[in-house]
């Protein structure tokens, strides 16, 4: 597969290393926060312990809030909003569904080749819907992000126009999930992608997603919030 010259972290099954010490530290903090979230969901500790924990977490939040803050990924003060790699790097690190430095994001890793797009993830208890099962809303969100990356195969990706998910079986927690996607059609402004999730060699969900290409001017207005 011929990859573009700009920053492109989806060309290998191997997780791309952070580009500098700041992003390495952000990933460490995000991983620690994910662990905190899962433990907070499952803990059976006392009310007093939880109140003390809330005080400590609030104090750390106050410390961060006192430092310089950007307003969203595309804020001009963001230190990586430079060169060609800016948007790709920001998305890879801070996207709310896949970002390696965003503690909200499930730990999914995505890569692709000429044949399609692939992914793997293991979701813990904080993503539980039905007992021992990934919440259906997260299944849909993961499909949207996964295929949103996969549409880069066309060389001119767009935004989600329609997403349809079929839930065939419960998608289990604490189990490696495999994602497989493909480009079905790219015609005019319309891109059609399909995908499935596989757990223990069983397909648990399928998705079809229509993406609509947008022009550079429209994207610029989206970034500016207008």
DSSP the chain: -PPPSS--TTSSSSPPPPSSHHHHHHHHHHHHHHHHHHHHHH----HHHHHHHHHHHHHHHHHHHTS---SSTT-TTSTT--TTTHHHHHHHHH-TTT-TT-TTS--EEEEE-SS-EEEEE---GGGBSSTTBB-HHHHHHHHHHHHHHHGGGGSS-EEEEEEEEEE-S--BSSS-EEEEEEEEEEETTEEEEEEEEEETTEEEEEEEEEEEE--HHHHHHHHHT-
| 129 contacts 122 by C-beta, under 8 angstroms | no
pTM: 0.88
Report residue 13 CA to chain centroid gap.
Answer: 15
Return all residues near 108 (Cβ < 8 A) that are at least 6 apart.
97, 98, 119, 120, 121, 142, 145, 146, 179
Query: What pLDDT shows up at residue 214?
Result: 83
> pLDDT of the chain along its 226 residues, tens only?
444 456 788 988 989 998 889 889 999 999 999 999 999 999 999 999 999 999 999 999 999 999 988 877 777 556 554 444 567 788 899 999 999 999 999 999 999 998 899 999 999 999 999 999 999 999 999 999 999 999 988 988 899 999 999 999 999 999 999 999 999 999 999 999 999 999 999 999 999 999 999 876 666 565 555 4
Query: What pLDDT shows up at residue 212?
Result: 95
Query: What pLDDT shows up at residue 60?
Result: 96
Query: What pLDDT shows up at residue 61?
Result: 96
The token duo for 176 is 């490696």
Query: What pLDDT shows up at residue 146?
Result: 97
């Amino acid at each position: 597969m011929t990859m573009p010259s700009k920053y492109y972290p989806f060309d290998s099954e191997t997780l791309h290393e952070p580009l500098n010490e700041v992003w390495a530290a952000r990933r460490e903090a995000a991983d620690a926060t994910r662990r905190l979230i899962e433990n907070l969901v499952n803990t059976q500790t006392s009310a007093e312990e939880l109140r003390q924990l809330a005080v400590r977490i609030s104090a750390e939040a106050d410390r961060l809030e006192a430092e310089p803050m950007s307003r969203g990924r595309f804020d001009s003060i963001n230190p990586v909003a430079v060169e060609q790699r800016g948007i790709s790097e920001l998305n890879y690190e801070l996207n709310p569904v896949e970002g390696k430095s965003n503690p909200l994001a499930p730990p999914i890793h995505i890569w692709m080749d000429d044949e399609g797009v692939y992914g793997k993830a293991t979701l813990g208890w904080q993503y539980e819907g039905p007992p021992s099962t990934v919440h259906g809303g997260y299944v849909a969100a993961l499909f949207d992000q996964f295929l949103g990356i996969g549409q880069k195969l066309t060389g001119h990706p767009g935004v989600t126009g329609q997403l349809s998910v079929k839930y065939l079986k419960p998608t289990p927690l604490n189990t490696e999930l495999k994602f497989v996607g493909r480009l079905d059609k790219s015609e005019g402004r319309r891109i059609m992608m399909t995908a499935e999730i596989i757990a223990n060699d069983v397909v648990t969900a399928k998705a079809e997603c229509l993406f609509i290409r947008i022009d550079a001017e429209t994207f610029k207005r989206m970034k500016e919030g207008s």
